[in-house]
Chains A and B, each alone.
Chain A
């Protein structure tokens, strides 16, 4: 007891500290409760999992990248997917039994393999049946499947992406759609780390039929152009490349020397293959780190004589100087063994030439509006249409509107240009004349042109395939918009009054290749790649796309436009069965970029996912994941909790000195 004179002041001060003391008391109470709670929690940790199993559970969505890159063979001879599967199964083994697990496959088309279930055994079995698919990996679509739906977006979910994250797995140039972010608010996104290192991998990019102007159609000798490129470290080695026919019989085996400094190589291989039946072949590289890009299918088709119709007008004048273009062309075609018939261009609207697959129009000035409409339909439906100016007309009136008439991005002038012109010594080597290659330049060299009509392409869908020395196009080609056929317009009429072309060596291979190459382009579809739908044009309307016999794929139904809804999932030689019973072989190959095993940087992967959610790599998240699973409160965690509890208790002890009862002290013996 301290007798105090100034209690009046003391009371004022005491009143002021009352509020602070109240807060302190509450804080103390909280600390006590927290400390006791922590001690209890830590002590109960080992038994907690059993209690929690019946209570809170989490939903774990596992996305497995089983696309083409997952077939990459690792140094231990297992492929990436095998290793991933093994790790997933291990992680499921320590998973809380009450947690639900779902499996999503990321290979095209991304789909749920196992709906969320607590039957972990079934999940494990399903995983064991997953194998690398020869299709691209579509992680955005897999995320779309795995993320909670808009109406469930507040549900907590752990989405894991198990992938090697090679270049073929992620298209870094195609960013993730940000609308996924709305559904990812409560999603914990976890991914495996991108694989490091890059083994040397040879990619068989393309094998295609090559042809020369001097090729003899009567022999079974075919020239195949092969394109290979290398991923990874340079390597000096010999590579085996073999060819099999449609029955799987070896028809050629070659060895090529790969120079260390070369990253890309293109070469021709001669093979013997029958021409008179539907033929296909498969080029096979020796197995390396990525086996799926070591084969390439190629449908060679059946070599049939094209049915050519020349639309011109016959002339009674047999003087060679005045011979019309149609006659020159007829002679050129006839010399190759092809059959052609010549009809008057003006009759086209009255009696269109039905049994024809190639039309050479030398008198466009005679075609009326309905005739042009028919020609447009012909080209759209897969026909080859070659047009030359009418040398008989002073002005090419038809040329003014050719872009609209045939729906091709090629424009032509109506007035002819005269002078001394030569063909360029370097030609584009594209389109229908591409197979002539370097021979085209040699054949072009002696040709003189003195009259022509200027042409120009109006967009990239059209190409110049024959050029003058001054760089101006002399011939252009394009596919009609929405059509499958070929339109080629030659700026010079093959008559002697315009050019000496009709009497030069170029004349025969030029038209022969325009017909053959044109037909090939008209009938050959765009490269059919696994993982995509097919669009085979109107000739394939309501047809069937039948998989290779040894494949387990199902037949795909085509719609009235020759398009499929389903994706082609298996590479190989497929058969198109048209409505009228015709059969045609078509090659389906893997998109080599989707199998690329070039490594990706971790930061690039992180950045790619960033628009949707921040991603944690699995090893970063491992401790957190274990905490989330709550069934394994590690001793370290329990120790940590005890330490925190101890700190709380000490703090409480220090703060509670005010509240603890103690004996009052005297004021140095001077209490009044």
Chain B
């Protein structure tokens, strides 16, 4: 058994998978699929489940005409169907330098990436990798196609969408070996991604989103325009969330920006306030396009937030969903 296989099994820790297995991953919106699956398809008329009748328009193909209805009522109606499709899922993982940040040591039996294994820390990137493989495993179980884009300034690594058995291992391999460095450029990554997507997909973006959100808004707007669904997962270290530091410190920027020298106690309140404002803005952008935002503390288990997200989306779809 190769090293990457070992790590992949470690990511699929029973405690993570146990929390996910009771849910089916469903796209909240209608996603176009290549093969039939458990997801609703916008392409009506081709599959098995009847949706509705509509009046026939002269010149229209007679292929879907409901002859039985014609026999009963002497009127021409076209039959429409709701096709069950499979889902394409693409996961974007931020591998910028800030994703290396951690204040949590690695536990025995947990999977580690190249970023975390260097310091013996459970980095934000490790957390993102765990979520990625969990989602990929789930998708593959449902016979959905899943792909992976790892980006920082540019897209560093791409694992093309596939529903094959080896897909999951390829993804794990990419996550384990990709260098975690550079500055994040999410808009560019999204643009590069959606340029290569032929049909509608469910996109996951796993990042700390610690950059200005103006351009992110534009990118999300493009995602919306193209008809894709999007879930943003914000991964932050607990220390970043709580800022329980003291004393005078020089804060070195991990992405090469200016350092900040300040008294930790004095800046705590303004920092938490600024973080909340940034988070609120991200949520506002996400909600404005009817997408989902999920917040993850890298010190917590990845299971509960994903479970919560999937549960929420399942519920929405059962009740008719958005759109």
Contacts and interface: CB of A to CB of B under 8 A. Distances in A.
Contacts of B270: 13-14, 16-17
Contacts of A13: 267, 270-271, 273-274
Interface stretch (B6-14, B75-83, B170-178, B257-265): B257-265
A667 B240 CA distance: 12
Given A1-B250, A664-B247, A665-B246, A11 B240 contact: no
Contact of B250 (A17, A657, A664, A672): A664
B316 interface: no
B40 interface: no
Contacts of A1: 249-250, 252, 259
B28 to A, nearest CB: 30
A662 to B, nearest CB: 5
B15 to A, nearest CB: 24
Interface stretch (A2-10, A213-221, A495-503, A504-512): A2-10
Interface stretch (B98-106, B138-146, B150-158): B98-106
A328 to B, nearest CB: 116
A657 B262 CA distance: 11
A236 interface: no
A5 B257 contact: no
B251 A2 contact: yes
B243 to A, nearest CB: 9
Nearest to A14: B260
A670 interface: yes
A14 B278 contact: no
Nearest to A662: B248
Interface in A616-672: 657-658, 662, 664-665, 667-668, 670, 672
Contacts of B101: 3-6, 672
Contact of B119 (A665, A667, A672): A672
B193 interface: no
A174 B316 CA distance: 92
Given A657-B263, A672-B123, A4 B251 contact: yes
Residue of B105, B119, B211, B267 ringed by the most chain A CB atoms within 10 A: B267
Contacts of A316: none
A660 to B, nearest CB: 9
Contacts of A16: 270, 273-274
A17 B265 CA distance: 12
B253 interface: yes
Contacts of A5: 98-101, 124, 208, 210, 236-237, 240, 254
Please tell me the size bucket of the interface on A. 20 to 34
B95 interface: no
A12 interface: yes
A183 B190 CA distance: 82
B5 interface: no
B301 interface: no
Contacts of B103: 667-668, 670, 672
B62 interface: no
A6 B248 contact: no
A672 B250 CA distance: 14
A296 B270 CA distance: 90
Contacts of A657: 263
Given A9-B275, A12-B277, A665-B249, 7 more contacts: A2-B249, A4-B251, A5-B210, A5-B240, A7-B255, A8-B253, A9-B271
Interface of B: 98-105, 119, 121, 123-124, 208, 210-212, 236-237, 239-240, 245-255, 257-260, 262-263, 266-267, 270-271, 273-275, 277-278
